[in-house]
Amino acid sequence: MKRQLDAHAKHGLAAGGTARPARADWTIDQGWSAYTAADHATWRTLFERQRALLPGRACDEFLQGMAELPIAPDRIPDFRALSDVLRARTGWEVVAVPGLVPDEVFFEHLAHRRFPAGNFIRRPEQLDYLEEPDVFHDVFGHVPMLANPVVADYLQAYGEGGLRARRLGTLAQLARVYWYTIEFGLVAQADGLRLYGAGIASSFAETTFALDDPSPHRVGFDLARVMRTRYRIDDFQEVYFVIRSFDELLDLARVDFAPLYAQVRGAPEFDPGQLAPTDHVRHRGTGAHHHRAPGDPAAAAAEPSPP
């Protein structure tokens, strides 16, 4: 199964134990001039195939952010130029990191409106498979939404909430909220469902799977429900949660999670493909993608196609 694994795939393994960063906050220089022509060509390939899919699938805010920021097909963006524009819009900047960083370092950056982005780009043979977030996932997937004031505040609140959740022992619950919003969120627009999650927006195969495929459930977002829902890191999601508008994220940035953690603690968890009786089900998935038998010829057809 080829797919883009996200940051959380190696949750906790980020620091590795061996690597000792030169700077305490794990930032490095992007090293923009060290990118090769092949690196820029990989960026272009990834960019062009997403660009063809996103109109009508990415939410208006994503497309607007992309249009306003210096993110273009011809080259990997220079984080300094990108940060100059982003800072003027929402006070965020993009800083370079070598890959996954420890949770507390990640949260500390977000809490200060710094988005840590991998400076490396995947190899050409890895267009659809990646274990750590690279510059395409981080910049193409995440940064356009950071030009939106609501998402900008929400992500900062997530960073602050992450530091609290570490102390409370509720990191797993908080990480699910991040996963099902910032990474794999859908939003209902006037003309239908659109993606805003970076894990979808940066994945060629999941872009169509999340929106067009009958297999996954699409369920109205509910905070306590999401906190109780496990997620897949090795395949497409079995369920996508749909916000009605970005005002719902704005509420999330303000709500005190502590009473919710108490409510959720001890409550049964949901498997990714399981529906709850109280769900607002927008689309009941067939589950065909995840339930197919290995070697089933129909399954092969359901595989994401290579680039």
Q: Which residues are catalytic?
A: 137, 142, 183, 202
Q: Print the SS3 string covering 114-135.
A: EEEEECCCCCHHHCCCECCCCH
Smallest separation (angstroms) from ligand HBI to the CB of 159: 9
Chosen from ligand HBI, Fe ion, none, partner binding at 218 (C-beta under 5 to 8 Å by type): none
| 237: its two tokens | 């999601």
Chain residue at closest Cβ approach to ligand HBI? 7
Q: Cβ of residue 277: shortest distance to Fe ion, in angstroms?
A: 31
Q: Please state, in angstroms and rounded to a whole number, the distance separating the CA atoms of residues 168 and 163.
A: 9
Comparing CB distances to Fe ion, the nearer of 145 and 264 is: 145
- Are 285 and 217 spatial neighbours (Cβ–Cβ below 8 Å)? yes
Which H or E run contains 239? strand 239-243
Helix H or strand E encompassing 186: strand 186-189
Report the candidate in 82, 76, 111 with the shortest Cα–Cα distance to residue 95: 82
Closest approach of Cβ 196 to ligand HBI, in Å?
16
Among ligand HBI, Fe ion, none, partner that 135 touches (CB below 5 to 8 angstroms by kind)? none
* Single-letter code of the amino acid located at 253: A
Which of the choices ligand HBI, Fe ion, none does residue 134 contact, using the CB cut-off of 5 to 8 A by kind? none
- Where does the chain have alpha helices with state H? 37-53, 60-68, 79-90, 103-111, 135, 143-146, 149-168, 171-178, 198-201, 204-212, 223-227, 247-254, 257-264, 288-291, 297-302
d(CA 251, CA 139): 25
Binds 101, which of Fe ion, ligand HBI, none (CB < 5 to 8 A, cut-off by type)? ligand HBI
What is the smallest separation between the CB atom of 160 and ligand HBI, expressed in angstroms? 13
Which residues in 3-22 contact Fe ion (CB under 5 A)? 7
- Which residues of the chain form contacts with ligand HBI (CB under 6 A)? 7-8, 11, 14, 97, 100-101, 103, 106, 116, 133, 175, 178
β-bridge partners, 283: 218
Q: CB 105 → ligand HBI: shortest distance, Å? A: 7
Hunting for tokens 């981080």 — which residue is that? 138
Each residue 183-212 as x (binds Fe ion by CB under 5 A) or -, in order, gives ---------------x--------------
Q: With CB cut-offs between 5 and 8 Å by kind, which of ligand HBI, Fe ion, none does residue 11 bind?
A: ligand HBI
What SS3 class is residue 77? Answer: coil
Query: In the complex, which residues of this chain contact Fe ion (CB under 5 A)?
Result: 7, 198
